[in-house]
Amino acid sequence: MRLGVLDIGSNTGHLLVVDALGGGAPLPASSFKQPLRLAEHLDDGGAITDAGRDALTRFTDDAVHVAEDRGVSEMLAFATSAVRDAVNSQEVLDYVAEHTGVTIDVLPGEDEARLTFLAVRRWFGWSAGRLALFDIGGGSLELAGGEDESPDVAWSLPLGAARLASTYQGHTPDEEELRELRRTIRAEIARNAGLMLRSGAPDKAVATSKTFRSLARICGAASRGEGQRVQRLLPLAEIRSWIPKLAEMSVEQLSALPGVSGSRAHQMLPGALVAEACMDIFDLAALEICPWALREGIILERLDQISVRGAGAA
């Protein structure tokens, strides 16, 4: 069957169309995305602005037409941190549904971590042993760990790269601002780190999504053109050496780095601080980048549901 996954993230709206078959890997057939930057379209009261609402509505309407053109038989639409945390999220989603016919579900942070963990487990398989997962989004950081397809622990923190970048938006952070940002990040992560640490060191520590992929490219990992199955690592020593350099770069200079898009360039420094903190606090020398993340987890869970339903009918 041909599935469409409409992912409304804090940075980007992304429609991924895949040919899906139970027992097989989802095969990407088409991709349509636009920068939405919803995490930066929040007013002082924490509400999504009219401009953010209208951008989301236009993108969703465009995505519907793309899905129809690509022959999508079912579309799974969900929103993550920026919509989840907005005080007017239901009002905005009702508006989108009224104008596009698409009902967008709000995904709780714990479910976001759980589903990303499922995708990572399926990618690496059982031989990977105990996994530790880290996923930096635009609005939140997801963490999960365990030995099975469902993690033993999964939680979400308000440490997304776009959210953190907005704390010093419009200027280059000075030394004291960076120190305070670093302190905040580490205190948040350390608060519940014991949930994962009490089970012992993971056999494999994994990072997913765009911010981690970009940081890995900055640190010398292979480009996307070299294929999905090339191992890509983000070493702690490398990211630590890059942080002072990132702090001194302009947005234009950041945009020129390998793997960094202009729309996310200002998020590289806070993303690097979060990545460094995760590896420090959990005593990890490096993170391995997984090409599958939340969207694939959504697809895999849906295929599992269809398979169970089919088996029951038989």
Residue type for 150, please? S
Residue 31 and residue 112: Cα distance in Å, rounded?
21
Render pLDDT for 222-258 as a digit per residue (tens, 0 to 9): 999 999 999 999 999 999 999 999 999 999 999 999 9
User: Which of these, 67, 78, 99, lies nearest to 294 by C-alpha position?
Assistant: 78
Contacts of 228 (CB under 8 A, 6+ apart): 291
Residue 19 and residue 29: Cα distance in Å, rounded?
6
Average pLDDT, the chain: 94
User: Which of these, 116, 150, 147, lies nearest to 130 by C-alpha position?
Assistant: 147
User: Which of these, 75, 150, 148, 134, lies nearest to 277 by C-alpha position?
Assistant: 134
Residue type for 303, please? L
Cα angle at 113 between 86 and 109, to 5 degrees? 20
Residue 290 and residue 123: Cα distance in Å, rounded?
8
Residue 221 and residue 148: Cα distance in Å, rounded?
28
Model confidence band, residue 126 (pLDDT cutoffs 50, 70, 90): very high
Residue 137 and residue 216: Cα distance in Å, rounded?
15
What DSSP string describes 68-137? HHTT-SEEEEEE-HHHHH-TTHHHHHHHHHHHHSPPPEEPPHHHHHHHHHHHHHHHH-GGG-SEEEEEE-
What DSSP string describes 240-279? HHHHHHHHH--HHHHHTSTT--TTTGGGHHHHHHHHHHHH
**Residue 172: predicted pLDDT:** 81
Render pLDDT for 192-223 as a digit per residue (tens, 0 to 9): 999 999 999 999 999 999 999 999 999 999 99
User: Which residues partner with 5 through β-bridges?
Assistant: 16, 76
pLDDT of 312 strictly over 80: no
Render pLDDT for 220-231 as a digit per residue (tens, 0 to 9): 999 999 999 999
Cα diameter, the chain: 65
**Residue 193: predicted pLDDT:** 97
Domains of the chain, each with CATH number or no CATH: 2-107 (3.30.420.40), 109-294 (3.30.420.150)
Model confidence band, residue 309 (pLDDT cutoffs 50, 70, 90): low
**Residue 169: predicted pLDDT:** 72
Model confidence band, residue 302 (pLDDT cutoffs 50, 70, 90): very high
